[in-house]
Amino acid sequence: MAARGSLPSGLRLLLLVPLVAGLWRPAGARRDGRFEGASTKTVVRYDGTVTWTPPANYKSSCTIDVTFFPFDLQNCSMTFGSWTYDGSQVDILLEEQDVDKREFFDNGEWEIVRATGSKGNRTDSCCWYPHITYSFVIKRLPLFYTLFLIIPCIGLSFLTVLVFYLPSNEGEKICLCTSVLVSLTVFLLVIEEIIPSSSKVIPLIGEYLVFTMIFVTLSIMVTVFAINIHHRSPSTHNAMAPWVRKLFLHKLPKLLCMRSHADRYFTQEEETERSSGPNSSRNSLEAALDSIRYITRHVMKENDVREVVEDWKFIAQVLDRLFLWTFLLVSIVGSLGLFVPVIYKWANIIVPVHIGNANK
């Protein structure tokens, strides 16, 4: 539509006409869905320029990469083009490369990092079709997931470490480990409902949960072993090997800042003094000495058994202290190794400060 000739100076004609069936409209559509537009009036200027601005509400979907969930960065795009007319009939112009984000409203879960547009062409055997692609780079706001998922998981991980601080004769050690394992299973079910299902990658929070579940399972195994060591005695197990005694009773306690376990074993020589005396009292004295020797041997045997039992209990304490420091170190290194690099990378993403509602 074009106007013939020219209008007098200072005279401009502007018409608002309803959208009629005879007015040509661009056959545009998104590549991932149908064109959604409302019927609005058309602006016709004196030079034949026709402006039609139909409001539309577009819903688009894109593939989400959940590798670093909840510290993830997503890139979603929307492509607009004509399916009917080629580039020789209808051309699409990109006025600005950067999308104006002043009219955007803040979202409680996502934050726009970058929004840009680019023009491209789709070519087939005879024609070329122009299209414009708008790319939206958004990052997730992880505060909600940090408070209600990550921090409880880290707390459960360090709660597992405290299992080794409980005395070995307490049955609550196994109960505490089992309770932590059940809690982690519940968290895993909650996360499975939150994040999209994907077998290509494992999300970061999922990796940490699997790491913690393996961590807790190993703690249950070593706790059972420590309790078994605690309840050993000469009547149930063979004598303690010399290298076990040397390692767990003398060397490791010093390295683990524990009180040294003194060597309670000693040899005692019995000396029997034979005194000369009347033959009449010799038999009665020998009978009394035999009774004393029997009582002494019985008491010494009980002391030996008690000392062996105490040695096994002390070894169980050494194992608990060794596992305490080992699991604490693994928990700290594992947590920092998983989250710190991702959080550092996420925090360094620069977000434009002018995003928000322009009416504010």
Whether residue 165 lies inside any domain: the answer is: yes
Main-chain dihedrals φ then ψ at residue 131, nearest 5 degrees: -150, 160
**Residue 263: its pLDDT value, please?**
46
Same domain, 212 and 335: yes
**How confident is the model over 255-276, as pLDDT tens digits?**
887 776 654 444 443 444 444 4
Q: How do strand 28-30 and strand 42-45 relate by DSSP bridges? A: unpaired
pLDDT in tens, 173-216: 888 888 888 888 888 888 888 877 777 788 888 888 888 888 88
Pair (31, 164) in one structural domain: no
Q: Are residues 302 and 194 in the same domain?
A: yes
| 50 and 165 inside one domain | no
Per-residue pLDDT at 359: 42
User: Do 187 and 42 have their domain in common?
Assistant: no
Instruction: Give the per-residue pLDDT at 37.
Output: 54
Same domain, 49 and 149: no
- The number of distinct structural domains making up the chain is 2
Q: Is residue 201 part of a domain?
A: yes
Q: Which of 58, 90, 105 is the last residue of a domain?
A: 58
Write out the two tokens for 98.
Answer: 């950067």
Look at residues 58, 82, 105 and tell me which one is the last residue of a structural domain: 58
pLDDT of the residue at 312:
85
- The answer as to whether 177 is a domain residue is yes
- The pLDDT assigned to 279 comes to 52
Instruction: Please check whether residues 49 and 176 belong to one and the same domain.
Output: no
Let me know whether 26 and 174 are in one domain.
no
- If asked whether residues 188 and 53 sit together in one domain, one would say no
- Do 209 and 336 sit in the same domain of this protein? yes
Confirm whether 149 is domain-assigned: yes
Report, as ranges of residue numbers, the positions in the chain whose pLDDT lies below 70: 1-39, 170-171, 260-283, 289-290, 294, 298-299, 301-305, 350-360
* Domain end (from 15, 41, 58): 58
224 found inside a domain: yes
Give the count of beta carbons closer than 10 Å to the beta carbon of residue 32. 13
H/E run at residue 188: helix 172-194
3-state secondary structure of 314: helix
Question: ∠ CA(152), CA(158), CA(163), 5° rounding?
Answer: 125
Task: Tell whether 314 is covered by a domain.
Answer: yes
157, 41: one domain: no
Can you give the pLDDT at residue 356? 46
Range of the structural domain that residue 43 is part of: 1-58
Q: Is residue 248 part of a domain?
A: yes
Q: Give the C-alpha separation, 57 to 51, whole Å.
A: 19
In a domain, 138, yes or no: no
Determine if residue 279 is left, alpha or beta; phi over 0 gives left, psi from -120 to 50 gives alpha, anything else beta. Answer: alpha
Please name the residue ranges forming H helices in 231-278. 242-246, 252-255
Residue of 47, 128, 44 whose CA lies nearest to 90: 128
Calculate ∠ Cα 313-316-321, nearest 5°. 130
Contact (Cβ atoms closer than 8 angstroms) between residue 45 and residue 84: no
pLDDT value of position 107: 84
